[in-house]
Structure 1
Amino acid sequence: MPSPRETPAQSVLVPFAPERDALPASLKRLVHQDVLERWYAVDRSAHAPRVVAVPGDDGEEWTAAALVTARPHTAYLKIVDAVGEVPAAVDAVVAAARQQGLAQVKWEGWTANAGEAAALGFAPLRVPLGRGGAEDAPGPGSGYVRWLGGGAAVSEPPYYGQTTHFTCGAVTALIARTHAGGLPPESFDRTAELRLWRDATNFPACEPVGLGVAVRRAWPSSQVTVFLDREGPVLLDHLPESEQEWRAVLQRASRADAGLIGVPIDAHHLPMAAVRDAIGRREHVLLLVSLAGMQGFDVPHWVLCHGAVPGALVIEDPWANAATGDTWVDAHLLPVTDASLDAMSTISSDGYRGAVMIGDPEPLDAS
Structure 2
Amino acid sequence: MTTPHPVPSAVPYAVVPYAPGAGPSAWPDELRRIARPEVLERWGAVDRTPHAPRLVAAPGGGGWAAAALVTARPGTAYAKIVDAVGDVPAAARAVVGYAEEQRLVQVVWEGWTVSGEDAAAAGFAPLRPPLPGGTDEPAGPRTGYVRWTAGEGVAEPAYYRQSTHFSCGAVTALLAQVRAGVVRPESLDREAELTLWRDATNFPACEPVGLGVAVRRRWPSSSVEVFLDTEEPVLLDHLDGDEREWRAVLQRASRADADRLGVPVHGRRLSPAELREAVEAPGRCRHVLLLVSLATMQGFDVPHWVLCHGTVPGAVVVEDPWFNTGAGETWVDAHLLPVADASLDAMSLLGGEVRVRGAVLVDGG
Shorter-chain TM-score bucket reads over 0.9
* Structure-2 separation of matches of 1:194 and 1:128: 18
How many pairs does the alignment contain? 352
Task: Measure how far apart 1:8 and its partner are.
Answer: 5.2
For 2:53, the equivalent position in structure 1 comes to 49
Partner of residue 116 from structure 2, selected from 114, 117, 126: 114
Aligned pairs for 1:284-323 (under 5 A) are: 284-323=287-326
Structure 1 residue identity aligned to 2:71: T
Label 1:317 to 1:135 Cα distance change in 2 as closer, same or farther (>3 A). Answer: closer
For 2:150, the equivalent position in structure 1 comes to 149
C-alpha contact 1:66 1:80 (8 A) present in aligned 2: yes
For 1:164, the equivalent position in structure 2 comes to 164
* Structure-1 separation of matches of 2:323 and 2:254: 30
Task: Measure how far apart 1:136 and its partner are.
Answer: 7.3
SS of the residue 1:174 aligns to: helix
Task: Measure how far apart 1:87 and its partner are.
Answer: 0.2
C-alpha contact 1:131 1:137 (8 A) present in aligned 2: no
* Structure-2 separation of matches of 1:179 and 1:122: 23
For 2:276, the equivalent position in structure 1 comes to 276
Partner of residue 103 from structure 2, selected from 101, 104, 115: 101
Task: Measure how far apart 1:280 and its partner are.
Answer: 1.4
TM-score (norm 2): 0.94
Structure 1 residue identity aligned to 2:236: L
* Structure-2 separation of matches of 1:65 and 1:131: 33
TM-score (norm 1): 0.93
SS of the residue 2:141 aligns to: coil
Label 1:135 to 1:121 Cα distance change in 2 as closer, same or farther (>3 A). Answer: farther
Alignment pair present for 1:139 and 2:140: yes
C-alpha contact 1:200 1:213 (8 A) present in aligned 2: yes
C-alpha RMSD of the superposition: 1.6
Per-residue CA shift, 1:46-91, capped at 9, x if unaligned?
A: 0000000112143xx2110000000000000000000000000000
Per-residue CA shift, 1:299-349, capped at 9, x if unaligned?
A: 100000000000000000000000000110000000000000000001115
Task: Measure how far apart 1:223 and its partner are.
Answer: 0.3
C-alpha contact 1:74 1:335 (8 A) present in aligned 2: yes
Gaps of 5+ in 1: 1-5, 362-367
Task: Measure how far apart 1:351 and its partner are.
Answer: 3.2
* Structure-2 separation of matches of 1:331 and 1:293: 14
Label 1:93 to 1:279 Cα distance change in 2 as closer, same or farther (>3 A). Answer: same
* Structure-2 separation of matches of 1:238 and 1:298: 12
Task: Measure how far apart 1:115 and its partner are.
Answer: 1.3
C-alpha contact 2:9 2:100 (8 A) present in aligned 1: no
Larger mean Cα displacement after TM superposition, 277-286 or 331-340? 277-286
SS of the residue 2:292 aligns to: strand
Structure 1 residue identity aligned to 2:337: L
Per-residue CA shift, 1:117-157, capped at 9, x if unaligned?
A: 1111111111111169x9973211110000012133x1111
SS of the residue 2:212 aligns to: helix
* Structure-2 separation of matches of 1:345 and 1:210: 18
Alignment pair present for 1:37 and 2:41: yes
Aligned pairs for 1:1-367 (under 5 A) are: 9-18=11-20, 19-20=22-23, 21-58=25-62, 61-130=63-132, 137-152=138-153, 154-281=154-281, 282-349=285-352, 350-361=354-365
Structure 2 residue identity aligned to 1:260: R
Structure 1 residue identity aligned to 2:244: Q
For 1:3, the equivalent position in structure 2 comes to none
* Structure-1 separation of matches of 2:53 and 2:70: 6
C-alpha contact 1:7 1:13 (8 A) present in aligned 2: no
SS of the residue 2:309 aligns to: strand
Gaps of 5+ in 2: 1-7
Task: Measure how far apart 1:37 and its partner are.
Answer: 1.5
Task: Measure how far apart 1:290 and its partner are.
Answer: 0.2
Task: Measure how far apart 1:114 and its partner are.
Answer: 1.2
* Structure-1 separation of matches of 2:136 and 2:216: 37
C-alpha contact 1:110 1:140 (8 A) present in aligned 2: yes
For 2:5, the equivalent position in structure 1 comes to none
SS of the residue 1:151 aligns to: coil
C-alpha contact 1:76 1:335 (8 A) present in aligned 2: yes
